[in-house]
Amino acid sequence: MNTPEWVLQAAKPVSEEALKKAQRHQDQLTKPRGALGRLEELAIRLAALQENPYPTIDPIQITLFAGDHGIAAKGVSAYPQAVTGEMVRNFANGGAAINVLAEALGANLEIISLGLVNDPGALPGVTRLSLGSSTADFTKAPAMGPEQLVTALDVGCKSVERAFASGAHLFIGGEMGIGNTTAATALACALLSEEPEVLTGPGTGLNSDGVERKSALIRQALTHHQVFNTCPAPIEILRTLGGFEIAALVGGYLACGQNGLPALVDGFICSVAALTALRINPSISPWLFFAHQSAEPGHLRVLAAMDADPLLSLGMRLGEGTGAAIAASLLRSACQLHRSMATFDGAGVTDDVSAG
């Protein structure tokens, strides 16, 4: 398929002048230079992206995309496919982990349903944009048709554009979809030319037999679509092996770079979406921050491919954007320290290491 023209639009450039000003300001704060470690780096980077000597991540926008996967019918998850729809209802009722964390952050939470087998119907606070009950079984056919993919990408893009227009300073994407670690692993194998046995993990809690079955199905899909032989374009790999919610995340990350809105990338599935977005449009790289290294074994390999240094490693594998929501507190602290600490001159503190 042809790549939509908008996805190739260059990202907003980073201000080198703002970067230098932020560095000078950070060096004047009442502490030894570098004493706050990566918090200093994060504040300086955000200041450069926002062209603001006193950066902020507030308000925060969290958008969670949900969609079902045809491959789930082959038993690649420890949970039945109906759980996707049940969890969307749970999100609407405020009972999921991401609801709790969004409230704690004071973040705006948006839920977008893109196509569910067990669709719970209209729910308060949930936008329904059905692209089909699920993607196709990618061992037999491409997961999405061209129109489905373009629509999913656009949904992600529009969600970021709404966030940007509303004044958000940080975007967090989340996902829900039984079977989506299988889709993400297949995508990662194709993008990294890696064997399924290396990247396939337990997802929601498969035993060793389940992991082996999942890996075999991914290999079947890669072979069926001749991915390693034909080396298709990243967007075609996304269409062939991805999911509605993964494609929406890709569109969202692309739009973050293009609109100048920093994105905090969650765990394995979101990182694979980020890798896909970077392969489509490398210019968005400065706008992506990486929240945590998940317990999914393929995540470390995906992060390494992007030279990403995640902020946390907590053994999490929940999804929903939860790891990013927790890491957002670190970004907030970095900004508060950068903005509110006194300078040496202002506090009357000697900035002369030889004086002691």
193: exposed, middle or buried (Cβ count in 10 Å: 0-12, 13-18, 19+)? exposed
CB count in 10 Å sphere of residue 230:
8
Helix ranges (DSSP H) in the chain: 16-27, 38-50, 82-93, 97-105, 146-165, 180-192, 196-199, 208-224, 227-230, 234-241, 244-259, 268-280, 299-305, 322-340, 344-347
Edge to edge, what strands does the sheet with 126-128 contain? 126-128, 108-113, 60-66, 170-176, 263-265, 288-290
Question: Is 236 part of the annotated catalytic residue set?
Answer: no
Element (H, E) at 126: strand 126-128
Q: Which residue in the list 110, 175, 236, 320 is annotated as catalytic?
A: 320
Place of tokens 């770079």: 257
Contact between residue 204 and residue 78 where contact means Cβ atoms under 8 Å apart: yes
Which of 16, 78, 117, 105 lies closest to 208 in space, CA to CA?
Answer: 78
Active site residues per annotation: 320
